[in-house]
Amino acid sequence: MSNVNLIPYTVQTIIKSTKEIPPGIQLINAPTSWDNGYKGEGIVIAVLDTGCETNHIELKEQIFDGRNFTTDDQGDPTNFEDYNGHGTHVCGTICATKNDNGVVGVAPNAKLLVVKVLTEKGYGETKWVIEGIRYAMNWRGPNDEKIRIISMSLGSSEDSPELHKVIQEAVKSNILVICAAGNEGDGNHETNEYAYPGAYPEVVQVGSVNLKKEMSKFSNTNTEVDLVAPGEEILSTYLNNEFAVLSGTSMATPHISAAAALIIQQCEQEFERSLTETESYAQMIKRTVELDFSRRYQGNGLLDLSIGFTSKSHQDGELTVTK
């Protein structure tokens, strides 16, 4: 069985306190969605990562449940605490609560299922990820809530048929699986760099741009990239009730995972029915803006949540976009 690791990322600054909407969240126009009444209510997102700081002021009310599949804390399954910082940062971008302090996430009213599959050192076994995905697929909340989105900012250079199979099962069970493209990019769009599970065609593979909408040189390029989001100088929650600025496709991914919650909430309210995984993906892609870069870099382009409020044409619900 192969191993997986945190996709390498850069910690640029640690900040004790702040009070702002992070620039990356503004760049994808999440506030437009909030202003129209969509903040992710009723959507539970499974985050497979290093865990989450459960007492962080911005996150403690957002955590619905969780489980540890690693050897940290002697393998105690009930302890999904984050000792690395990466998972807490990802969780904050997804749904840090909207209050008068700290930061706010893309979907501030969504909830988290924290699935710890990476240790304090950022190392994991592929079987932990497989077990974590199965746990997320089978999880039910007190009111029979189900996971709609799985977010994974992790990767391996090795293709695992077992991991691929369980992801296919998750997608068939109507879960959007959203993964980081990886940070092995060489700045040349003509070369392919693959990190798994991001490179599997069934997942939503997320590349990175900076806050000027320029492609991140580290972002993997390949024909399976679906879209891009901000991944450089991303401000979010961090250990010890603090905040940090990090960079990597790991940081782009939760922007998309949380945006999917807003899109699903909006469309299901408008269509008055549940969306399939294929429809959720199609609605996401309809909210992209093509940039002046190769499709191997950007896929369909940069996510822009304001697009969903410029036209009512998407309400017909007839969707044909496929990955």
- Residue 127 sits at the vertex; the CA angle it makes with 123 and 133, to the nearest 5 degrees, is 100
The distance of Cα 317 from the centroid of its chain, to the nearest Å, equals 24
- Residue 153 sits at the vertex; the CA angle it makes with 149 and 158, to the nearest 5 degrees, is 110
Cβ partners under 8 Å of residue 238, min gap 6: 14, 53, 85, 88, 89, 92, 244
Which of 49, 65, 72, 82 is flagged as catalytic?
49
255 is catalytic: no
Give the DSSP letter of residue 124: E
Which of 56, 86, 89, 314 is flagged as catalytic?
86
86 is catalytic: yes
Query: Do the Cβ atoms of 296 and 221 come closer than 8 Å?
Result: yes
Cβ partners under 8 Å of residue 246, min gap 6: 9, 10, 11, 12, 86, 89, 234, 236
Q: Return the number of other C-beta atoms located less than 10 Å from residue 233's C-beta.
A: 17
Give the DSSP letter of residue 22: -
49 is catalytic: yes
Q: Which helix or strand (DSSP H or E) is residue 200 part of? A: none
CA dist., res. 35 & res. 185, Å (int)? 36
Task: Select from 146, 141, 130, 124 the least CA-distant residue to 49.
Answer: 124
Which residue has 């007190």 as its token pair?
A: 142
- Report, in this order, helix, strand and coil percent for the chain, each rounded to 5: 30, 25, 45
Which of 153, 160, 219, 250 is flagged as catalytic?
250
Q: Annotated active-site positions, please?
A: 49, 86, 250
